[in-house]
A and B are shown apart, each in its own frame.
Chain A
Amino acid sequence: MIQVQQPTMQTTTAINDKREAMIHLQNVEKVYRTDTIETLALSNINLHIAKGEFLSIMGPSGCGKSTLLNIIGLLDAATKGQVLIDNQDTTHLSDKAMAQFRNKKIGFIFQSYHLINDLAVQDNVELPLLYRSSSAKERRQRSAEALQKVGLSNRMKHFPKQLSGGQKQRVAIARAIVGQPEIILADEPTGNLDSAMGDEIMNILLHLNSTEGTTIIMVTHDEYMAKKTHRLVRLFDGSQVQ
């Protein structure tokens, strides 16, 4: 189990939002070091995201959007600074604790779907539940529900190869929500889709945010999509510009 620490950050944060705070990034810096070069992917990022907020992140290619999302999702560690999620300092968690944290609190959606081609749709959706204690029956039931929410109840036995891009992304959304996480991190979820399919995906996310109160952070290149969200953060060269 994840122990919720006492909110030590209350003294350090200046947030006065009436809504409960969900994600705090403080002076986050990320440096990628290779043999020859050092890349400053993020520098001095301060970001506070409220519970239930739908935030979009924009910026030119290579400005560090994915890096930021990975750090929030505990897939990558910040070089400097603090990441607090749900009042918990995540900087010094063990591999196991981080895995549990991702499993319970976070759902990921990627531009390239990342479905496992050798597993049927429903088995793909069940995946997060495999890494927590749940019965086979419960997994079947919850994955079926998640697929219903994205309108794919009739594709449960299909394989990813038999689906269109939009359908694949809906499967990925079902997989992201099956564990009922509080946060969804979407990295260009509509990037590979035409505008009609993109709208469809966007509507599912908006619906999820409004009905279930899921906090969503979405990276996008599409101003039109970004406008539909509560707040837009712009990055430029690893720094926050807005």
Chain B
Amino acid sequence: MFRHLFKLIWNKKKENFLMITEMLVSFLVIFAVLSMTVFYYHNYRQPMGFDYEDVWVVNYSAPQSAQRGDSAMLFRQTIRQMLLSMPQIKKLSFAGSNVPFAMSTSNSNIDYNGKSVLANIYDSEISYASVLNMHLKEGRWFTQADEVSKYPPVVINEMTKEALFGKDQAVGKLIGKDNPLKVVGVVQNLKDKGDYQPVEYGMYKLMDTGSYHHASTILLKVQPGTDAAFEGKIFKQLSNAIGSSIEIEHLDKKLASKNKIFLVPAIIATIVAAFLIINVALGLFGVLWYNINKRRSEIGLRRAVGATGNSVSKQLVGEALMLSTFALIIGSFFAVQFPLLNVFDLPEGVYIIAMVLSILFIYFLVIICALYPGRQAAAIYPATALHED
């Protein structure tokens, strides 16, 4: 029967071409949608790597007088003491502008032993890790002693560690060419671009007198339930102390708006894809339906020579499945180019899962669309079908 169906399809290749094309296009659309879905779902499942609840972000621009050297140090000291004297503020850390869920990024290449990655560079302080409750995997976070060490100390994230050191020990190694930096610790990856965004390479630097002017942000860890009245109070005090306007945001709200920026276009794309799939399904259904009506006499004849209603319906579903197999073989050939040529920077596994899911989905769609016409074909009355011409 398999060979028989193959012949039947092969001899009708012209008529079937359109159908195969339609299935091929829908496979590719679904493959694209599913690649994205699998990718973002995978990201979503990754741990955050830090706590963002009750963390506030203060953005400020330091007065000219407090941008360099000792005056910058003094400026920060004053602000720090003022804030920490309030019981609602548990911890704080000055930081570069690329704190979690911020729009700003700052990156640079880091090299080790011929390998190089483009990593986010975070300006941080000794208290930075504890404000965000980061998870140390190896070595340690910065301490007071690091402020006078020979090589500037850095902490890298796990992803950077794997890329540069693989299974080897990273702590204690020097990275970078001209100005070597010493790795003192490895932290768990921080998914700090939003719930659905991938983890990126990251390296944390300890700000020193030379880089104080990078600091433009303060991270505050406040007591749970700290309210807007308090926010208003520190807003006033900080504005007065800094002498220019400041901005206070909450990390959880920043995350929500980051997610929204991602989700809105993603939902629109999904709706568009869903309409496309409905279209394809209707088209498929229509073609199969049309086919059956065109082939009534063939169906009647098959019944006359010994086919049961069931085997007629199975044959029609089988033909549709065989057609979709052709389409899927061609489609997979295209789809497999994405991981092979690394067209987009997605992990290989994402494409493979998406491919398998798309294949299953197309088969499912074809079976659903063929089942009813197939059942109708089984119900065709052979005596009548053989008499109309």
A127/B305 in contact, CB under 8 A:
yes
| Contact segment of B135-143, B256-264, B293-301, B357-365 | B293-301
B150 interface residue (CB < 8 Å to A): no
A163 interface residue (CB < 8 Å to B): no
B167 interface residue (CB < 8 Å to A): no
Task: Take A75-B303, A119-B11, A130-B4 as given contacts and tell me if A99 and B386 are in contact as well, using a CB distance cutoff of 8 Å.
Answer: no
Docked Cα-Cα span, A210 to B202, in Å, equals: 93
8 Å CB contact of B11 from A67, A95, A103, A118? A118
Q: How far is the CB of B101 from chain A (nearest CB, A)?
A: 61
Task: Take A123-B4, A127-B302, A130-B4 as given contacts and tell me if A114 and B307 are in contact as well, using a CB distance cutoff of 8 Å.
Answer: no
B306/A75 in contact, CB under 8 A:
no
Task: Take A70-B383, A103-B305 as given contacts and tell me if A123 and B389 are in contact as well, using a CB distance cutoff of 8 Å.
Answer: no
A-chain residues with CB within 8 Å of residue B381 when the two chains form the complex? 76
Docked Cα-Cα span, A213 to B81, in Å, equals: 115
Q: How far is the CB of B102 from chain A (nearest CB, A)?
A: 64
Q: How far is the CB of B20 from chain A (nearest CB, A)?
A: 16
Q: How far is the CB of A174 from chain B (nearest CB, A)?
A: 12
A114/B300 in contact, CB under 8 A:
yes
Interface size on B, residues (CB 8 A): 27
B383/A99 in contact, CB under 8 A:
no
B304/A175 in contact, CB under 8 A:
no
Task: Take A116-B298, A118-B12 as given contacts and tell me if A99 and B7 are in contact as well, using a CB distance cutoff of 8 Å.
Answer: no
Q: How far is the CB of A39 from chain B (nearest CB, A)?
A: 13
A-chain residues with CB within 8 Å of residue B298 when the two chains form the complex? 114, 116
A-chain residues with CB within 8 Å of residue B303 when the two chains form the complex? 75, 99, 102
Q: How far is the CB of A102 from chain B (nearest CB, A)?
A: 5
Docked Cα-Cα span, A75 to B305, in Å, equals: 10
Q: Report B349-389 CB contacts with A as 1/0, cut-off 8 Å.
A: 00000000000000000000000000000000111001101
A66/B387 in contact, CB under 8 A:
yes
A-chain residues with CB within 8 Å of residue B386 when the two chains form the complex? 75, 110, 114
B304/A100 in contact, CB under 8 A:
no
B45 interface residue (CB < 8 Å to A): no
B11/A114 in contact, CB under 8 A:
no
Q: Report B131-174 CB contacts with A as 1/0, cut-off 8 Å.
A: 00000000000000000000000000000000000000000000
Q: Identify 27 residue pairs between A and B in the complex whose beta-carbon atoms are under 8 Å apart, listed by A's number.
A: A70-B383, A73-B304, A75-B386, A95-B309, A96-B308, A96-B310, A99-B308, A102-B303, A102-B304, A104-B306, A110-B386, A114-B297, A114-B301, A114-B304, A114-B386, A116-B301, A118-B11, A118-B12, A119-B7, A119-B8, A119-B11, A123-B7, A127-B301, A130-B1, A131-B302, A131-B307, A179-B306
A-chain residues with CB within 8 Å of residue B301 when the two chains form the complex? 114, 116, 127
Max chain A CB contacts within 10 Å: which of B302, B309, B311?
B302
A64 interface residue (CB < 8 Å to B): no
A-chain residues with CB within 8 Å of residue B311 when the two chains form the complex? 99, 131
Which residues 288-327 in B have Cβ within 8 Å of A in the complex? 297-298, 300-311
Which residues 40-65 in B have Cβ within 8 Å of A in the complex? none
Q: How far is the CB of B219 from chain A (nearest CB, A)?
A: 72
B115 interface residue (CB < 8 Å to A): no
B304/A118 in contact, CB under 8 A:
no
8 Å CB contact of A76 from B305, B307, B309, B383? B383
Q: Report B1-36 CB contacts with A as 1/0, cut-off 8 Å.
A: 101100110011000000000000000000000000
Docked Cα-Cα span, A66 to B300, in Å, equals: 15
Q: Report A86-119 CB contacts with B as 1/0, cut-off 8 Å.
A: 0000000001100110111000101010101011
A15 interface residue (CB < 8 Å to B): no
Docked Cα-Cα span, A130 to B8, in Å, equals: 13
B-chain residues with CB within 8 Å of residue A126 when the two chains form the complex? 4
B-chain residues with CB within 8 Å of residue A114 when the two chains form the complex? 297-298, 300-301, 304, 386
Task: Take A75-B386, A123-B4 as given contacts and tell me if A108 and B305 are in contact as well, using a CB distance cutoff of 8 Å.
Answer: yes
Residue of A nearest to B10 (CB): A118
Residue of B nearest to A123 (CB): B7
Q: How far is the CB of A42 from chain B (nearest CB, A)?
A: 13
Task: Take A114-B386, A136-B3 as given contacts and tell me if A99 and B11 are in contact as well, using a CB distance cutoff of 8 Å.
Answer: no
A-chain residues with CB within 8 Å of residue B389 when the two chains form the complex? 112
Docked Cα-Cα span, A50 to B300, in Å, equals: 28
Docked Cα-Cα span, A126 to B3, in Å, equals: 12
A-chain residues with CB within 8 Å of residue B297 when the two chains form the complex? 114
